[in-house]
Amino acid sequence: MTNQAEFVVDINRTTNHSTAIKWILNQVGRNIFPFLVVIFGAAGNAVGAAMIPLFVGIAFDAALETPGNLNGIAWAAGLIIASQTIRAFLQFGRNFCSELLGQRIERDSREELYVSLLGKSMTFHGKQPVGDTMARATNDVREMGLMFNPGVNLIVGSSFFMLMPIIFSLRYHPSLVIAPALFVISYLVILVTYMRSLQPIAATARDAFGKMNGRLAEALDGIEIIKATATEKQEVKLFDSNATHYRNALVHQGQVESRFLPLLLWGITNAAGLSHALILFQNGQISIGGIIGYMGLLSLFGFPVFISIYAYSALARGHAGAKRVLELIKTKTSLDENADGHAADIKGDVKFDNVSFSYIEGKPVLENISFTVSAGQTVAIVGQTGSGKSTLARLINRTYDPDIGRVEVDGIDVADWRLDSLRGQISIIEQDIFLFSRSIRENISFGNHDATEEEVLNASKAAQAHDFILSFPEGYDTVIGERGVTLSGGQRQRLALARAFLAKPHILILDDSTSAVDSATEDRIQQAISLAASRQTTFLITHRLSQIRWADLVLVLRNGELLAAGKHEQLMADVPSYRRIFEQYG
């Protein structure tokens, strides 16, 4: 089943998402040339390494001749120099392409994850911790790169190193293959057992890191509340608990790694190989140079022995990281961009037909909501906290889909609209204003980057933001902090209003968006909204009587149900619970 997505970018590649291993192999297949260079370079490096003991053995035999064979020694030395020169170039190509491969896989994985995250619905993002997502997008993806360089690079290199003693020991005597062959077989058996033990531990460590990072991000995001309530000590304890869990997972991983036995196995192999070679020497079947060369070949096992713990740990961490990244990519979302859906200029007619919605199954937030709004009307939505006002607004632009019923825009079910066409013509200003850590101009023109300077200024003036913007030394070029923390609540709201005015939406939804501005400023903003109301349908989620009075329709919600609908004066006269709302809020 193909995952649905609200936003899809063609990244011009086919990817197998069935398992983490197939996903990784699929990415390697798209970068086959650097991978083949790694293989060829590793093989050449191993052969070059084997040449040293072979030629040293030849030089020993030449030196032991009577008289000493200086020409043989010179030839051996020259061949060593030549082979190591070639080996150096092969090593350069291998290491360069290994890093290239790792970086490309990091890039492609991160891009694929980012595109996937943009396509997820708000239901997904509401449940998925931001810190854990960031841990996967940064640290886990990085582990995938390290899995290839140095991980796979060292593993491929060590594999060829293990073959050299088996291949070249035959040069001295066929029976000398026994010791290296037994080493390789024993090494592989130990390795399989080791990896089976290590992989789940590495996965636990990655999950613990994600949880720790998630808690850290949450604490930093809510730092104002933590400081306001003086709960720093409690947060430190929670973070310390998560950090301890992560440390324990790494310690457990270290304990498993410390029990890796190839170093002992290599020592036994050297002793067995030397004993065997000495017996053959006593029987006149090999020379002193043969013993030297053979023991030099066995020394090549030192490379896979010493790098194996790090290399295979990198492989396990990379695989665990890939599984965590792929888990996010594969997470299904209920909404789809509907690329072939309806796309047209919105007039502004909105209809709710027996709509019900719940975030958690069995706990409805909205029940059986039905009403009709004509294009150009202004609708006020009122109700006590938790009555479903903001949720109702989010159904209009398909942030969520209703469980039951239909939401229509211009007589067409919002699910049948092409999502970018629908949302591009609807602006929502939420209670929690989000501003980017960019310049004021970039924040206002976000989503409308082709706006002229005059359009930006007019939108700012309409939102009563122009004057305070000019009070900053750099004016519209002032860079504000993340989420606009360097601004007051009222300033953030006015910038959000300016962004909405600049977009010139056909449907404008204001979710208590002037709560942080003074009455005089609100009156001027309301005048701007009134001027724009003739060309758009406006929804106001508010308790301010000054805004509700001029609404064409007032919707009264209570406990997720539509209690009443009508003009303000009519509701004040006929609906006691509506009157109580204004008695409560003044």
CA distance 193 to 265: 15
Altogether, the residues listed in the chain come to a count of 586
188 contact partners, CB below 8 Å, separation of at least 6: none
In tens, the pLDDT along 353-403 reads 999 999 888 889 999 999 999 998 999 998 888 889 989 999 998 888 899
In tens, the pLDDT along 389-402 reads 989 999 998 888 89
Q: List, in order of start, the domains of the chain with CATH numbers.
A: 20-330 (1.20.1560.10), 350-585 (3.40.50.300)
The identity of residue 318, as a single letter, is G
Greatest C-alpha distance within the chain = 125
Burial of 371 (0-12, 13-18, 19+ CB in 10 A): middle
233 contact partners, CB below 8 Å, separation of at least 6: none
> For residue 67, is the peptide bond before it cis, meaning its omega torsion is within 30 degrees of 0?
yes
User: For position 307, what pLDDT does the model report?
Assistant: 85
Q: Is pLDDT above 80 for 522?
A: no
Confidence of residue 405 (pLDDT cuts 50, 70, 90): very high
In tens, the pLDDT along 228-278 reads 777 788 888 888 888 898 899 888 888 887 777 788 889 999 999 999 999
In tens, the pLDDT along 423-465 reads 889 988 877 777 888 888 988 888 787 888 999 998 888 888 8
320 contact partners, CB below 8 Å, separation of at least 6: 140, 143, 199, 202, 203, 205, 206
Q: What is the mean pLDDT of the chain?
A: 86
Bridge partners for 511 per DSSP: 541
